[in-house]
Amino acid sequence: MSDPLSPSFSVIPGAQVQATTSGREEDVIRVVEAAYRLHGEGATVNPDSYFLTFPDRPSSRIIALPASVRGDVDVHGIKWISSFPENVEAGIPRASAVLILNDTRTGYPFACLESSIISAARTAASAALAATELSRARGGDRPTRVGFFGTGLIARYIHRYLVASGMAFTALGVHDVSPVHAEAFKGYLRRTEGGEITVHDKAEDLVRSSDLIVFATVAGEPHVSDPSWFHHNPLVLHISLRDVSTDVVLASHNVTDDVEHCMKANTSLHLTEQRVGNRDFVAGTLFDVLTGALTCPADRPVVFSPFGLGVLDLAVARFVHGEVARGGALHTVPDFFSDLKRYG
């Protein structure tokens, strides 16, 4: 917003978001890393997410994520994202979202962006950043055997961002409760990968055969409960937050994006806190890893459980808005704010 006395409003549809982020995965990862650093330095406001749930549709929800980021991002805003799993059977994606950006000087909203792509991109960028940094913090090589537990859009984006971050896989595993979806994801991987691709009927087989495990499901409660499956000490990206049991959590070295945020909504970490009465099982945050304050052991599973911070969405949305504006392609809505004189 160049003139606070004449605020404007623009709409950025999904096609523009996709065009701006596609092929620029490394840039998005750097944007997300910078946002994590600002958050760790206290230059953000990230209140609790608000969950709108429905008694007649317990598997569905709409979540509001308000946030504010200072620094070079310099924006307030909110993401409004729905998750309706039944959509998949109807042939449309489970999640849909919009995001509003607000000017930090006036508070006026100045853009609305289609945000399912922004949400997927920031989730994938966070996962790829964590995989890279946690591998480094363990002092070992990057994993070469990856397993995808859940095969939706988020899994596809995470794979793309892992590859963009420089990871190369000799073996790729796939597991999903739906064999049809598992085979479809295998088809996607075959078009993009040269390594061996295996669909595992058993969850245990996927876990035991993978050095990097990506949980990207819609699980509402833990369903992977045997710590012995993880005795080979893999790196686990626990993106969907509710897949592993408290026994697995307690047997692992746990890293999150924000400890306070992860201790709610019956995530696996939250359930573990309720069980043991403390948070000592959490080693630290990704910010601690980025700053060198936290190292990770090679002789235990390392589990990254990110709650998904609204500040990441704002940072990526601000990046997209800036790129579209620089290209002169903003779709502005004339007279969106039509009564700007206090006394007429």
Whether 6 has a pLDDT exceeding 70, the answer reads no
Mean pLDDT of 198-205: 98
d(CA 240, CA 250): 18
Q: How far is CA 117 from CA 50, 76, 79, 99, 326, in A?
A: 21, 19, 12, 11, 20
CA angle 49, 88, 147 (to 5 degrees): 80
Per the document, the length of the chain is 344
d(CA 336, CA 184): 43
d(CA 248, CA 250): 5
pLDDT of residue 1: 43
Whether 340 has a pLDDT exceeding 90, the answer reads no
CB of 257 closer than 8 Å to CB of 237: no
pLDDT of residue 195: 87
Mean pLDDT of 246-274: 97
3-state helix, strand, coil in the chain (%, to 5): 35, 25, 40
Provide the CB-side half-sphere exposure for 48 (13 A, CA): 8
Buried-exposed string 72-91: b where 16+ CB fall within 10 A, e elsewhere: ebebbbbbbbbbbeeeeeee
Whether 282 has a pLDDT exceeding 50, the answer reads yes
Q: What is the mean pLDDT of the chain?
A: 95
Whether 295 has a pLDDT exceeding 70, the answer reads yes
pLDDT-based confidence at residue 5 (cuts at 50, 70, 90):
low
pLDDT-based confidence at residue 31 (cuts at 50, 70, 90):
very high
Provide the CB-side half-sphere exposure for 133 (13 A, CA): 27
What would the pLDDT profile of 77-111 be if each residue is shown by its tens digit?
Answer: 999 999 998 998 898 888 899 999 999 999 999 99
CB of 307 closer than 8 Å to CB of 261: yes
pLDDT of residue 339: 83
Neighbours of 318 (CB within 10 A): 21
Whether 3 has a pLDDT exceeding 60, the answer reads no
- What's 11's DSSP letter? E
pLDDT of residue 194: 85
Whether 344 has a pLDDT exceeding 80, the answer reads no
Q: What ranges in 87-143 are assigned the alpha helix state H?
A: 116-137
pLDDT-based confidence at residue 146 (cuts at 50, 70, 90):
very high
What is the set of domains in the chain, with CATH numbers?
A: 10-118+310-332 (3.30.1780.10), 125-305 (3.40.50.720)
d(CA 128, CA 163): 8
Q: In this predicted model, which residue has the larger pLDDT, 80 or 344?
A: 80
| Token pair of 47 as six digits | 């209140």
pTM, full prediction:
0.94
CA angle 174, 133, 175 (to 5 degrees): 10
| Token pair of 113 as six digits | 């962006």
Mean pLDDT of 110-121: 96
Mean pLDDT of 129-139: 96
CA angle 138, 141, 142 (to 5 degrees): 95
| Token pair of 36 as six digits | 């994590």
d(CA 256, CA 304): 5
pLDDT of residue 2: 43
Mean pLDDT of 286-304: 97
